Structure 1
Amino acid sequence: MSDRFELFLTCPKGLEGLLIEEAVGLGLEEAREHTSAVRGMATMETAYRLCLWSRLANRVLLVLKRFPMKDAEDLYHGVLDIEWQDHMLNDGTLAVEFSGHGSGIDNTHFGALKVKDAIVDKLRTPQGDRPSIDKLNPDLRIHLRLDRGEAILSLDLSGHSLHQRGYRLQQGAAPLKENLAAAILIRSGWPRIAAEGGALADPMCGVGTFLVEAAMIAADMAPNLRREQWGFTAWLGHVPALWKKLHEEASERAAAGLAKPPLWIRGYEADPRLIQPGRNNVERAGLSEWIKIYQGEVATFEPRPDQNQKGLVICNPPYGERLGDEASLLYLYQNLGERLRQACLNWEAAVFTGAPDLGKRMGIRSHKQYSFWNGALPCKLLLIKVLPDQFVTGERRTPEQRQAEREQAAYDEAPSVPQERQYNKNGNPIKPAPAPAPVIEQPRLSEGGQMFANRLQKNLKAMGKWVKREGIDCYRVYDADMPEYSMAIDLYHDWVHVQEYAAPKSIDPEKASARMFDALAAIPQALNIDKSRVVVKRRERQSGTKQYERQAAQGKFVEVNEGGIKLLVNLTDYLDTGLFLDHRPMRMRIQKEAAGKRFLNLFCYTATASVHAAKGGARSTTSVDLSKTYLDWARRNLSLNGFSDKNRLEQGDVMAWLEASRDEYDLIFIDPPTFSNSKRMEGIFDVQRDQVQLIDLAMARLAPGGVLYFSNNFRKFELEPNLSERYAVEEISAQTIDPDFARNTKIHRAWKITAR
């Protein structure tokens, strides 16, 4: 075989530039960059060195042959032409990977099959011995890449992908691949910082990938030094003596690196479930003396090992994929920015994010940004110098203030001078005064954010007396008052529930997102609510019963007060919370009129109206709903107020239940859904179509002198005129709108219906 080989090094998209620098440094010649790959010429020694030392490559492919192909037959004969007995034994194992399409091959499985057939046919013996397939741990892993009519047949020297270093057997929910983590560290300047003796801290370390990769760079450890299985181990062209020499050299370099005083490398993780897996990974990497992992929240992150130590803060915050993530993520990034400004002055920082708009909310400018891909997700690496000049939160600083801050920073970096000890008149040393507590900056709001905060505070003040008089602590404080901030904001005791209305297609999504983040930044300050108690949901046009479908499973209930009763709301698990705030006046009306009456609540949801009726002295209440989940919730609401007796909960289709019922009721409340197609009911319920039948069935159960209240929130709903011919019908919509919904009087319509 030749002394020089053509190599293909594959890598994640976006790492090509870094990989070509690394590969050339390790001996690759005539290097050229391709999409997700680097190509060049190398000796066998360089090929081994790349396997051992590349921190960025996925695979090292040694090209066996290039040949043109027009169809599957050309593919078969091109592979058959290789002297495969020089590469593997007749009874060995192999795996074939095929990429690309064209030349009559549109199915990669078919392409791989043709390659396999050619190799097997070449090595088949008269006795019937032949290679077999082993996709997990083959003796030889063959790769064929089809590129514009040319087949490139290669031997995979790496075996399993090189990003699998072997130390990370336990991982979190969304881990970075090791080679991507290494690339981020290199782009962040960590090799330079480590060479200067700098520290490294990761405030959201997960299972420690950044920490281990950073320590291996600092300690001059080959990333794949501990790997035991290679793609060349059983290859007949393997040169064991050369490999042994390179491996021993790498072992000696690692031993020398680890013998140096370890750098200060620390990780902090809020999730206690990830602490031990992270420590286990560190131990498997042999870096327990270099890396320590602690449990801690970002808001309390304190990375400085001593006053004069500087270094790199690096992290990969979550990107946000679940309902309600926007608020928690915004505050996470704000907390990170606050901690950098307060505890990491003169450090460097690197934030790898799939949500760069959130990165802008940290209150520090980035001086460089690099584009990466995390799988199929485009990401940005934000590089930051933590200096006062880069801060964009807090009060605006004059040039003189900035100069004073720079002088203070320089003073802080100077070697400390022992202070002369002072004594009191009794000869005892005087203790120094304690340092003042650090002042926590509130993030400075944008112009739009401040305008939004002003509106919230104005609304809150305007409703203050009314809220206190009515004895409620759950109400709407904002409902798209400013068209560019299209959302509804409700207070539930000391929680905030934000429903973002989907922006029209005519609105630039980036502008809509920026406004949303401005609003989220303003809410805690304007309403004096802790950031962790803001829940965000996106409300779009709903079809069917989608608004009632479960969105999460946290099971966290909050107790609120309304008109002298207690109710349970769930702000996270469903799009709605279990309490329709706009129906408050109707519930209060029912409470005032319920004394001594038999009350029927149809489509009862969580039976809040039934609790009000019981509070008002109803003789009995009956609540009907199809959902067992909501009836269980209703049972808890009744029990919370001591109304478990004389209050029936009936599970069933309301229409069928009414047809079967023969009981009479003095007060009936119906608040039906617009549409329902539940599997538990027969047919489909449509409020516009089925209103007459529903009201007729309910009126048949109404006792003489009784009252039926009917309401719904379907904007296009029109009550059938012929109902007025049979019953006394009075629209009372205006009387069922409280001040917190005065801006949105079409939130629902309501009628009072009695017998003529």
Structure 2
Amino acid sequence: MTAKYQFTATCPKGLENLLAEELRALGAAVEREQPAAVLFAGNLELAYRTCLWSRLANRVLLNLGRARVDNAETLYRVVEDIPWEEHISPNGVLWVQFSGTNAEIRNSQFGAQKAKDAIVDRLRKHTGARPDVDKRDPDLSVMLRLHRDHLEIAIDLCGDSLHRRGYRTHIGAAPLKENLAAALLVRSRWPEIAADGGSLLDPMCGSGTFLVEGALMAGDVAPGLLRESFGFERWLNHQSDIWLPLREEAHQRRVDGLAAGLPEIRGYDADAKVLFAAESNIARAGLEKHVRVSCRPVAAFKVPSHRPIKPGLVITNPPYGERLGEQEALRETYAELGRQLKQEFGGWKAAIFTGNPELCHSTNLRSHKQYKLFNGSIPSQLLLFEIHRSTDAKDDAARVAPRLSEEAQMVANRLQKNLRTIGKWAAKNGISCYRLYDADLPEYSAAIDVYQSLEGQTYAHIQEYRAPASIPEQKAKARLSDLVRATRQVLDLPARNISIKERRRHSHKESGSQYQKRSETSPVFWVEEYGARLEINLWDYLDTGLFLDHRPVRKYLRGLVKDKRLLNLFCYTATATVQAALGGCSESASVDLSKTYQSWAQRNFRENKLDPYRHQLIEADCLQWLASAQQNRRGHYDVIFLDPPTFSNSAKMQGVLDIQRDHTTLIRQCMALLRPGGRLLFSNNLRSFKMDPEIEAEFSVENLSSKLLDKDFQRNPKIHNVWEITTG
């Protein structure tokens, strides 16, 4: 009981001073702090108490020795000198972890192997047996750290990391580790607020980590009480007579603490799925009678009104977005949080932990203290606020729609000018989806498309083009941000109605990453084009389901097909087929290899009440389908629409498609499927494309590219090539 030991408690980077304070409160003699660790001395009871009660530590290590190690032989000898037979049974299970290198020991795996050999050889020599080696559930975990030719040897008393309390089996998309959440609560002075009866609220609680950790603190509940076991319980020097009373004391403190009652602790989130995770975690922690969660967006965040509560702490870890599009959408979320705090929480304290502190400017709150920390490997900040009730609505509105910079105002002026021309043209012609801007200002290299849904909502789709190599990445990002802010102001849109695609420039049907899903769940909506109802998704894929430059092509095709048979190859979401069907097409076949696009096309067909027996969707490789159709569909179609990608090497395809190389074969195969007098409408997006002279000699070929180009794409006349080909 009185024997003194040397220990190391590890923790997340940036929490060393908080951990040192916690250890002193537990009775430790703190010797020094070092990056992500605190060295301290004490007896075995202190070590057990630290494992049970530390809210901030990752691990508690019992230090066995420190020695200079120059090479592998010295490493082996130093480790072998430790009396391992005093720590593990020869029939036990051992695990060795090694970190660090030097000039001779260049690989941590080699260091671990050498140390393991030394321990096993020592045990075999002294006991005649050797332990098994397995990282799963070991009886003894040995931790070795080599730094500047000095080897530190320790055993892990915890087993699993202390941040794994045992209550969190359900986690959200971006979980906050329990000990980091506890540290943020300590930094925000929650223990003092709770002791004074103040409340704890989290408006974006996710899986509820702040709520549970806050309740454990307020209820005097040891964070390690829910754990099934600790590493020291199978250590040969473990003393149950010390450990069991400590555990019983913790159980009694929990009973007494919860019986005394907790302050109001509540969490909210707009996502019902993550609230299910929060409820499960709260229940596993035994706190379901003390912590409540409910589904509520940030815009509806208010002080609970079911009973009078004392002002306290609002703490949250809002999403911060990895991509510009996500960040721009989140500005409104942060702005809503700021508005609600000022309007509803005067006299409260607030804490926001974020990996993107710049977003906090949108709250229109001034932090009085900031702490730099890490969320895993992500540099982050905790910002603390004293909330004063806002009475100035104009101030709030200005923060939601910040004044544009001089550069962004220049972009806004151009957008306003385009709205007066292209916007009026679109409205006059009943066009609800159009291109408003296409790199009109060369330094702002992007396209902006406007979509007006059937529900009356307006959306903007911003597609960034690749910036020249001479433009620094940060400058390009700043310009795109200016473009987004100008778009939002000119079109008067909430951030959630703007989709931003940061990418290099593609032709609209090139294969590759542009067809990859961009997020898990995103809103879809319907638009109208010449009476057709078409599904749009601005977020999940780089393309939206509707190629706006082909609007006049679809209209022209619609005029060709009354009472005729249509073949649509590389049909994408089959919007051209929908137009043709509404134009009186007697029957059609639409071919595409993508299951995603075939499903999308099917939804378009259903929405427009197309007969699936007359209008077929065929999931197939168009190249193979065309080749096989030469046998059984010759002379079958009146009109064919051929709109292939510029290049495709899809893993599902047998061959590789290069439209410049292969267009001659494709056109001839299509012409063979046409009835006498039939028409092939051939389109592609290769700017350098040249029609093979043999095709022009063999068939009647008319270039319709300039004719089939609407006003909103006239700045970009090479956006597509369109030919009408007949047998002559």
What band does the TM-score fall into relative to the shorter chain?
Answer: 0.7 to 0.9
The answer (yes or no) to whether the contact 2:635–2:675 under 8 Å persists in 1 is no
Q: Distance in 2 between matches of 1:502 and 1:614?
A: 35
TM-aligned CA distance change 1:67 to 1:96, over 3 Å = same
Which residue identity lines up with residue 214 of structure 2 in the other structure? Answer: A
- The partner residue of 1:656 within 602, 620, 627 is 627
Q: Which residue is 2:527 aligned to?
A: 560
| 1:300 alignment partner in structure 2 | 300
Q: Does the CA-based 8 Å contact 1:265-1:291 persist in structure 2?
A: yes
CA contact (8 A) 1:653 1:680 kept: no
1:419 corresponding residue in structure 2: none
Q: Which residue number corresponds to residue 604 of structure 1? A: 571
Residues 16 and 34 of structure 2 are in contact (CA less than 8 Å); yes or no, is this contact kept in structure 1? yes
Amino acid across the alignment from 2:132:
S
Contact 2:704 2:724 in 1 (8 A): yes
Question: Could you tell me which residue of structure 2 aligns to residue 540 of structure 1?
Answer: 504
- Aligned residue in 1 for 2:148: 148
Conserved in 2, the CA contact under 8 Å of 1:357 and 1:514?
Answer: no
Structure 1 residues 106-185: aligned runs within 5 Å: 106-124=106-124, 128-133=128-133, 135-185=135-185
Q: Describe the superposition over 1:416-453 as per-residue Cα deviations: whole angstroms up to 9, x where unpaired.
A: xxxxxxxxxxxxxxxxxxxxxxxx88713231466656
Counterparts in 2 of 1:691 and 1:205: CA distance versus 1, 3 Å = same
Structure 2 match to 1:395 = 394
Query: 1:410 maps to what in 2?
Result: none
| Counterparts in 2 of 1:462 and 1:341: CA distance versus 1, 3 Å | farther
- Which of 427, 432, 444 is the equivalent residue of 1:473? 432
Is 568-577 or 553-562 further displaced after alignment?
A: 553-562
Whether the 8 Å CA contact 2:321–2:330 is kept in 1: the answer is yes
CA contact (8 A) 2:700 2:726 kept: yes
Displacement of 1:180 in angstroms is: 0.8
2:593 and 2:47 map into 1 onto residues whose CA distance is 68
CA distance in 2, matches of 1:84, 1:530: 65
Please give the residue correspondences for 1:420-499 in structure 2 after superposition, counting only pairs within 5 Å.
Answer: 443-448=400-405, 456=415, 459-460=418-419, 462-482=421-441, 483-484=443-444, 486-493=446-453, 494=457, 496-499=459-462
Q: Normalising by structure 2, what TM-score?
A: 0.87
Aligned partner of 1:290 in structure 2 is 290
- Stretch moving more, 278-287 or 735-744: 278-287
Alignment deviations for residues 266-318 of structure 1 (CA, whole Å, 9 cap, x no partner) = 11123323334423433443434432222222221213557883222111122
Letter in 2 for 1:656: A
For 1:576-617, what per-residue CA distance to the aligned partner results, in whole angstroms no more than 9, with x for missing partners? Answer: 122111111111122223334444433322332233233333
- Measured against aligned partners, the alpha-carbon deviations of 1:523-568 in whole angstroms (never above 9, x if no partner) come to 5664455654443333324564433344456596533211122223
- Hey, what does 1:584 align to over in structure 2? 551
The 8 Å contact of residues 668 and 709 in structure 1, kept in 2 or not, is answered as yes
Q: Distance in 2 between matches of 1:521 and 1:724?
A: 48
Q: CA 1:689 to 1:248, structure 2 compared with 1: closer, same or farther past 3 Å? A: same
Q: How far has the Cα of 1:491 moved from its partner?
A: 0.6
Stretch deviating more after TM superposition (626-635 or 372-381)? 626-635
User: How many pairs were matched up?
Assistant: 712
Q: Which deviates further from its counterpart, 594-603 or 316-325? A: 316-325
Conserved 8 A contact 1:262-1:289: no
Q: Identify the residue that residue 355 of structure 1 maps to in structure 2.
A: 356
Where 1:395 maps in the other structure, the secondary structure is helix
AA at the equivalent of 1:565: A
31 and 649 in structure 1: CA distance in 2 versus 1, 3 angstrom threshold: same
Alignment CA distance shift 1:502-1:344 (3 Å): farther
Aligned residues of 1:485 and 1:519 also touching (Cα < 8 A)? no
Assess if the C-alpha contact under 8 Å between 1:323 and 1:551 holds in 2: no
Report if aligned partners of 1:59, 1:162 keep a CA contact under 8 Å in 2: yes
Per the alignment, residue 102 of structure 2 pairs with 102
Q: 1:201 deviation in Å?
A: 0.6
Q: Is the 8 A contact 2:578 2:605 kept in 1?
A: yes
Q: Is contact 1:316-1:352 (8 Å) kept?
A: yes
- Paired residue for 1:5? 5
Q: State the distance in 1 between where 2:561 and 2:79 align.
A: 87
Of 685, 690, 698, the residue aligned with 2:657 is 685
SS in 1 for 2:275: helix
- 517-526 vs 110-119, greater mean Cα deviation: 517-526
The answer to whether the 8 Å contact 1:267/1:294 transfers is yes
Per mean C-alpha deviation after superposition, the further-off stretch among 630-639 and 137-146 is: 630-639
- Give the corresponding residue for 1:367: 368
| Deviation (angstroms), 1:214 | 1.5
Q: 1:163 to 1:602 in 2, by over 3 A?
A: closer
TM superposition score normalised by structure 1: 0.84
Cα distance between partner residues in 2 of 1:539 and 1:549:
12
Report the Cα distance in structure 1 between the residues aligned to 2:616 and 2:572, rounded to whole angstroms. Answer: 14
3-state DSSP class of the match of 2:400? coil
Cross-structure match for 2:720: 748
Q: Is the 8 A contact 1:323 1:552 kept in 2?
A: no
Whether 1:671 and 2:640 are equivalent positions in the alignment is no
The one-letter amino acid of 2:715's match is R
- Identity among equivalent pairs (%): 47
2:268 corresponds to 1:268: yes
Q: Which runs of 5+ in 1 are unaligned?
A: 398-439
Q: Distance in 2 between matches of 1:296 and 1:234?
A: 47
CA deviation vs aligned residue, 1:605-654 (integer Å, no higher than 9, x gap) = 23322332333334444434344543444344344434425445454424
With over 3 angstroms needed to count, the CA separation of the structure-2 counterparts of 1:268 and 1:240, relative to structure 1, is same
Equivalence for 1:337 = 338
Contact 1:499/1:536 (8 A) holds in 2: yes
Q: Which moved more, 1:132-141 or 1:680-689?
A: 132-141
Which residue does 1:33 correspond to in 2? 33
Deviations 1:704-738 (A, max 9, x none): 55443332222232334554444444433222222
Local SS of the residue matching 1:345: coil
Cα distance in 2 for residues equivalent to 1:90 and 1:705: 90
Distance 1:555 1:364 in 2: 30
CA distance in 2, matches of 1:373, 1:491: 40
Alpha-carbon RMSD across the aligned residues, in angstroms, is: 3.5
